[in-house]
Amino acid sequence: EDQVTQSPEALRLQEGESSSLNCSYTVSGLRGLFWYRQDPGKGPEFLFTLYSAGEEKEKERLKATLTKKESFLHITAPKPEDSATYLCAVQAGSSASKIIFGSGTRLSIRP
Amino acid sequence: GAVVSQHPSWVICKSGTSVKIECRSLDFQATTMFWYRQFPKQSLMLMATSNEGSKATYEQGVEKDKFLINHASLTLSTLTVTSAHPEDSSFYICSAGTGYHANTEAFFGQGTRLTVV
Task: For residue range B84-96, list pLDDT tens digits in order.
Answer: 999 999 999 998 8
* Identity at B48, one-letter amino acid code: A
Distance CA B37, CA B47 (A): 7
User: Going by C-beta distance under 8 Å and a sequence separation of 6 or more, which residues neighbour residue B92?
Assistant: B21, B35, B36, B37, B38, B79, B81, B111, B112, B114
Starting from the edge strand earliest in sequence, which strands make up the sheet with B4-7, in order? B4-7, B19-25, B76-81, B67-73
Cα–Cα distance list, A98 to A33, A95, B29, B59, B103 (Å): 12, 6, 20, 10, 8
- The closest alpha carbon to A88, from A2, A4, A3, belongs to A4
| % of chain A beyond a pLDDT of 70 | 95
Average pLDDT over residues B32-44: 88
Sort out which chain A residues have CB atoms less than 8 A from B111's CB and list them.
41-43
pLDDT per residue as tens digits for the range A32-44:
899 999 999 888 9
Sort out which chain A residues have CB atoms less than 8 A from B49's CB and list them.
97
Asked if residue B100 has pLDDT above 60, the reply is: no
Test the B interface: residue of A1, A86, A97, A105 with most B CBs within 10 Å:
A97
Contact assignment for A49 to B34 by CB distance below 8 Å? no
- At A83 the pLDDT is 98
Contact assignment for B43 to A103 by CB distance below 8 Å? yes
DSSP A97: T
- At B71 the pLDDT is 87
Asked if residue A97 has pLDDT above 70, the reply is: no
Supply angle C-alpha A52, A56, A61, rounded to 5: 150
User: Three-state SS for A102?
Assistant: coil
Asked if residue A104 has pLDDT above 90, the reply is: yes
- At B72 the pLDDT is 83
Distance CA B62, CA B76 (A): 21
Please state the length of chain B: 117
| % of chain B beyond a pLDDT of 70 | 91
> Exposed, middle or buried, B71 (CB in 10 Å: 0-12/13-18/19+)?
buried
Sort out which chain B residues have CB atoms less than 8 A from A36's CB and list them.
108
- The closest alpha carbon to B31, from B112, B92, B105, belongs to B105
Average pLDDT over residues B11-25: 96
> Exposed, middle or buried, A83 (CB in 10 Å: 0-12/13-18/19+)?
middle
Sort out which chain B residues have CB atoms less than 8 A from A98's CB and list them.
46
CA B16, B80, A93, A4 dihedral sign is negative
* Interchain CB contact of B57 with A (< 8 Å): yes
- The closest alpha carbon to A19, from A31, A29, A28, A11, belongs to A11
Taking only Cα atoms into account, the Rg of chain A, rounded to an integer number of angstroms, comes to: 14
Contact assignment for A42 to B110 by CB distance below 8 Å? yes
Average pLDDT over residues B58-74: 92
